[in-house]
Chain A
Amino acid sequence: MEALDGNAIAGQLMEVFGGEMTTVTGRCAGCRRTWQMAELEVHTHAPGTVGRCRDCGVVLMVLVTARGVTCVHLPGLVDLGMPTAP
């Protein structure tokens, strides 16, 4: 399955973070590059949703929904900005 980008999970991010996230920036802890969330390499067919750094491949974000609860893990994301109004 081909990778998508953060636009594809904009609705899910909005649900989790409570606002618009595609234009919010965060930095990769691996290569230090700053991305807007729309630019991440996103895999939606993994168990859960995985967002990776498009340059170095480090996993920045994992979202897993089970029994109506979404668990958010941001293992490689630093300096994540605040969501803006939807």
Chain B
Amino acid sequence: MLDVPTWEGHLAGQHVDVRLTAEDGYQAQRSYSIASAPQDRSVTLTVDRLDDGEVSPYLVDVLQPGDALELRGPIGRYFVWEESLGGPLALIAGGSGVVPFRSMLRHHAAIGSAVPVRLLYSARSLPEVIFHEELVRLGAREAVDVRVALSRAWPDDWNGHRGRIDREYLREAAWPASSGPLVYVCGPTSFVEAVADALIDLGHDTDRIRTERFGATGSGLPAPSASQGGT
């Protein structure tokens, strides 16, 4: 959670750039989606720690409450949902691609929106599901349907989808193309490409599909930890 005194608010789905500067002047910068809703009191980032990363191990392991961070943002108007855009809304996440959707779902709840939303969230295994309890809670609202798919390992009593989010699962679980849904897809590049291709194949309108890709996640770690500090 970040305390940013000059923050002028953001839209659900936007991100920030975080820049780290070493003592010798070397700089590294990465983008992180904002996990909090515009209505939340502080800005929350969720950082997936990559073992071979330059920035995420510092944010997860080293940064302490009270430390300062250099931020730029909020950034990006493309991968944003506001109620005026309507729905029905399909949010399709791979791994930490769920982070901007947490912001959108919290925003949807905060404004009491009745726009029907369905979140399809693919994780490798249950321990890797980020925000699980909160997503279940958000999914209990009437307009919201949250479905978690586990692609590699699942508990014996798992009654969600087992396997990848593929064409057949999208046909069954996403809104039908005929209902003209607005679809957001976020995750690693290969996930986004596969889902977008399958959606187009199922007849979805390309103009109603918005995608956001991030680089492959090398880590199999159970993910996230909020970074702290302020600018």
Residues in chain A within 8 A of chain B (CB atoms): 1-8, 10-11, 14, 20, 22-23, 36-39, 84, 86
Q: Assess whether A20 is in contact with B77, with CB atoms less than 8 Å apart.
A: yes
Report the minimum CB–CB distance from B32 to chain A (whole Å).
11
Interface residues of B in 48-79 (CB under 8 A from A): 72-73, 75-79
Residues of B contacting A: mostly: strand
Closest to A7 in B: B212
Q: List 24 A–B pairs whose Cβ atoms lie within 8 Å, in order of A's numbering.
A: A2-B188, A2-B216, A3-B189, A3-B213, A4-B189, A4-B214, A4-B215, A5-B211, A7-B31, A7-B78, A7-B79, A7-B213, A10-B31, A10-B76, A10-B78, A11-B72, A11-B73, A20-B75, A22-B78, A23-B77, A23-B78, A38-B76, A38-B78, A38-B210
- Assess whether B190 is interfacial by the CB under 8 Å rule: yes
A8 with B213, Cβ < 8 A, contacts A2-B188, A2-B189 known: yes
Q: Which residues of B contact A (CB under 8 A)?
A: 15, 17, 29, 31, 72-73, 75-79, 188-190, 210-216
CA distance A10 to B108 in the complex (A): 24
State A20–B212 Cα separation when bound (angstroms).
Answer: 16
Contacts A3-B189, A7-B213, A36-B78 known; 8 new A-B pairs at CB < 8 A: A2-B215, A7-B31, A7-B76, A8-B31, A11-B75, A20-B75, A20-B76, A38-B79
Q: Compute how far the CA of A83 lies from the CA of B72 in the bound complex, rounded to whole angstroms.
A: 17
Is the CB–CB distance between A22 and B77 below 8 Å?
Answer: yes
Q: Which 7 A-B pairs have the closest CB atoms?
A: A38-B78, A22-B78, A2-B189, A11-B17, A10-B76, A10-B75, A7-B212
Please indicate the chain A residues that have their CB under 8 angstroms from the CB of B75 in the complex.
10-11, 14, 20, 86
CA of A39 to CA of B210, assembled, Å: 8
A7 to B215, CA, bound (A): 12
A8 to chain B: which residues have CB within 8 Å?
31, 213-214
Shortest A22–chain B CB gap in Å is 4
A5 x B188 contact (CB < 8 A): no
**In the complex, which of the residues B79, B189, B213 has the most CB atoms of chain A within 10 Å of its own CB atom?**
B213
Contacts of A37 in B (CB 8 A): 78
**A84 and B31 form a contact (CB under 8 A):** no
In the complex, which residues of chain B have a beta carbon less than 8 angstroms from the beta carbon of A86? 75
Contacts of B77 in A (CB 8 A): 20, 22-23, 84
